[in-house]
Chain A
C-alpha cells in the first residue's frame, strides 16, 4: 500500500517536472535573463491573458502573430477580460501568463509592483519601432523612464449630436462642441425639454464623472502632474470645469433626473437616444459611431471633435497595451507576439478584412484607431466616402480627434487616484458637496494615495 502511494507520488513529481520542462520553451524561463532577437527561432507556449480575439481585427492580427512565432510555439488565449486579482495572483504564485493585455491606465500600477517587466530589451531585440507610436499612448505606459507596455487600440471622444434637434432650436455644431462654454450652456437650455416635471429631451450631456479630465484639459488643466507624482485636482481651473459641467445637469433639473433618463434608454439598440430624439448632444467615444451606424443608420446625426476653449480639437486618449509579466516563461515569444499584434502591416491586414466584411453586409467602414500613427494613416487612406455626409464627417472627426490627444501619465496609484476624483465628482452630482469642497477632499485623498504608493517604491 505504502509502496503504491510512494509510486503515485513520484509519478506526480516526475509529471510536474516534465510539465514545467515543457512549459519553458525559448527564453530560458526567467524574465531577468531573457534574450530578445528578431531572428531567433522560437518554441514553447504563449498563454495570453485578458485578450479575446472576438472580431476580425483581433483574429487577423492573432493569425499574423501565430505565423511570426512559428509552428513550434503554441498560443493559448485565456478566456475572459483581465481580472486584476487573478493576474497578480498568478504572477505571485509563479504561474504568470506569458503576455498580458491590459488597459493602459493599469500599466503604471503593475509596473510599480514589479508585476510586469520593462520592455527596453524587448523593444531593442525585436526592433519595435516606438517612433511609430502615438506619444500620448506611449506616455501612458511609460513609468520612471521605461516603457512597460506596447500600445494597442486607441479610444478618443467626439461630439455626437442630433442634427434635427439642433436645427429646430436654431443651433449649429459650434454651439455644442465645447469651444464656448457659455454657448453650450445656452444650447443646453434651448434643447432641454421637460413636460410635467419629467425630462423628455436631455439637452446636453457633459458625461460626468468620467469626462472631467477632458473638460479640465479643455480649460487648460491636468488632474495630475506630468511625472505622475502630484495631484492637481483642486486646481481652480479643474473646479471651474466641474462647476460648468455640473451646471449643465442642474439646468435640466439635476443629475439624478438626467441619469435616470439616460439609464432608461436603449443604448445599444434602435431605441437609442439619438434615434428617439431624446438627446441633443454629448461627447462620446468613437466606437459608438459604429453602434449608431449599425442600429440606426437613418438617425439624424451630426459629428464634430470636442473643442477646447480656444476652439482647438481635443480628446482624452485611453486604450489598451501589451505587457510581459514578471515570471513569463517565454518572454522572447511574448515580445514577438506583442510586436506583431501592433505592427503596421498586421493592423492594415486586419483593416482590409474588416473592409471586406463591411462591404459584404453593406455596412460602413469607419476606420480603426490604434496607438500606431503609421497604421492609422494607412488605414485612414483605405476609407472611401460613403455617400452619406454625416457618417463621413464622423470618421473625419474621429481621425482629427486622434491627432489631438492627451493622456494621464502612468502612476503607481492609478485606480485610487481615479476613485478619488470620481468620488469627488459624484459627491457634487449627488448634491452633497460644492465643487470646490469636493475637489479639495479628492485632492487630499488622491495625493495621499500617490504619496503612499511612491513611498512604497522607494522602500
Chain B
C-alpha cells in the first residue's frame, strides 16, 4: 500500500517537474547562467573582442574609487526614495476612487491602464516635450496658477523630480493591482466598523490599508527594484540619440553608467562588477523590506 502511494507520489513529482520544466530550463539558461557568467566576467578585463583576461578583484577596487559610481548610486537612491512612495500613494488614491466608480469602473480601469502601454522610449521623448522649461505643457499649466515653472530638463535640481513625475505616467498597472486587492476586502468589516461609528478615515486606516497591505507590500518591492534599475526613460531623454552630446549628471542613474561602461566604453569586466554590486544592493534592500514587512503586512491566510 505504502509502496503504491510512494509510486504515485513519485509519478506526481515527475509530472510536477515536467510541468515546471520550461520555467526551470528558462531560469537556468536565462538567469542562472548569465549570473554566474557575470560573476566570472567581473574578475576579468574584457572588451567584447579579445578574450577575457583575469584581473582578480581589480574591477571591484576600481569601483570603490570611481566617483561616478558614487554619483550614479546617489542619483538612483534619491530617485527611488522619491518615486516609490509617490507612486504607491497616488495609485492607492486612484484605486480608492475607482472602487467607488460603480459601473464606470471598467472604462476607467482601461483608461488608467492605457498609458502603461506607451513604450518607455516614447515616455523619454514625452518627458522632453511636456517638461520643456520654455514651452512645455507642465509649465504652461503651472503658469495658469501664476507659478513660473522651473527648467525641468536642464536644471540639475529639477531633473530628478521631473523624472519622478513622468514615472507616474505608468501608474496604471499598480492601480489595477490595488483595485483588485480593494475588491477583496470583505464588506462585513466595513459594515461592522460603521456600526461602531468609524468614519471614512478610520475605516481606511484600520480596515482598507491593513487588508490591502499584502498588495501594497508587493508593489513596494517591485517598484523599488524597478526604480533601482531605472534606465530607458532617463537614457532616452538625457543621453540618447536626440541628446547625443548633452547629458545631465543629475540623471546619470546606475544602470545608465553601467550601460556606458559596457556598450560605449566596452569595459565589460568593469560593467559586470557594477552589475553584481547592483544585484547585491537590490538583494539587501529587498531583504530589509521583507523583514520590515513582518511588522506591517497582514496576511488573512496566516490567521487560519
Q: Which residues of A contact B (CB under 8 A)?
A: 84-85, 88-89, 91-92, 109, 113-115, 197-199, 209-210, 254-257, 259-261, 263-264, 413, 415-416, 419, 422-423, 426-427, 429-432, 449, 456
Contact = CB atoms under 8 A, between A and B. Distances in A.
Contact of A209 (B45, B136, B245, B250): B245
Contacts of B250: 430
A84 B265 CA distance: 10
Nearest to A200: B134
B263 interface: yes
Contacts of B136: 260
A85 B263 contact: yes
Given A114-B49, A114-B50, A209-B246, A257 B264 contact: no
Point out which of B153, B250, B265 has the most chain A C-beta atoms below 10 A from its C-beta.
B265
A199 to B, nearest CB: 7
B133 A260 contact: yes
Contacts of B249: 423, 426-427, 430, 432
Given A113-B50, A260-B134, A430-B248, A416 B155 contact: no
A255 B247 CA distance: 13
Given A92-B49, A114-B49, A432-B249, A257 B134 contact: yes
A456 B249 CA distance: 28
Contact of B132 (A91, A254, A264, A432): A264
Interface class of chain B by DSSP: loop
Interface in B50-104: 50
Given A263-B128, A423-B249, A432-B156, A256 B260 contact: no
B266 A113 contact: yes
Given A257-B133, A426-B249, A88 B264 contact: no
B151 interface: yes
Interface residues of B, number: 28
B187 interface: no
A115 B154 contact: no
B148 interface: yes
Given A88-B266, A427-B249, A264 B49 contact: no
11 contacts: A84-B264, A85-B263, A85-B266, A88-B49, A92-B50, A113-B266, A256-B154, A259-B246, A429-B154, A430-B249, A449-B265
B284 interface: no
Interface in B153-179: 153-156
B6 interface: no
A64 B191 CA distance: 84
Nearest to A209: B245
A263 B132 contact: yes
Contact of B248 (A85, A264, A426): A426
B132 A89 contact: no
A92 B247 contact: no
B248 to A, nearest CB: 6
A306 B146 CA distance: 43
B154 A430 contact: yes
B123 to A, nearest CB: 16
B198 interface: no
Contacts of A419: 260, 264-265
A430 B158 CA distance: 11
Contacts of B47: 88, 113, 456
Contacts of A115: 49
A337 to B, nearest CB: 22
B210 to A, nearest CB: 45
B155 A430 contact: yes
A198 B143 CA distance: 12
Contacts of A114: 49-50
A198 B134 contact: yes
Nearest to A259: B154
B154 A260 contact: yes
A210 B245 contact: yes
A116 to B, nearest CB: 10
Contacts of A261: 134-135
B20 interface: no
A416 B248 contact: no
B226 interface: no
A422 B133 contact: no
B48 interface: yes
B245 A91 contact: no
Contact of B135 (A84, A260, A427): A260
A89 B48 contact: yes
A426 B246 contact: yes
Contacts of B45: 456
A316 to B, nearest CB: 13
A427 B136 CA distance: 23
Contacts of A113: 47, 49-50, 266
B267 to A, nearest CB: 9
A415 B246 contact: no
A1 B184 CA distance: 54
B263 A423 contact: no
A188 to B, nearest CB: 18
Given A209-B246, A260-B153, A430-B155, A415 B134 contact: no
Contacts of B248: 426, 430
A259 B266 CA distance: 30
Given A88-B49, A426-B246, A426-B249, A431 B135 contact: no
A198 B45 CA distance: 51
A300 to B, nearest CB: 23
A356 to B, nearest CB: 33
Given A109-B266, A113-B50, A263-B132, 18 more contacts: A84-B266, A85-B266, A88-B47, A89-B48, A113-B266, A256-B151, A256-B153, A259-B154, A260-B136, A260-B153, A413-B265, A422-B245, A423-B249, A426-B246, A429-B154, A430-B249, A430-B250, A432-B156
A113 B266 CA distance: 10
B48 A85 contact: yes
Contact of A264 (B134, B148, B245, B265): B134
Contacts of A456: 45, 47
B13 to A, nearest CB: 27
Nearest to A84: B263
A260 B249 CA distance: 17
B250 to A, nearest CB: 8
Nearest to B47: A113
Contacts of A413: 265
A231 to B, nearest CB: 16
A91 B247 contact: no
A204 to B, nearest CB: 17
A210 to B, nearest CB: 4
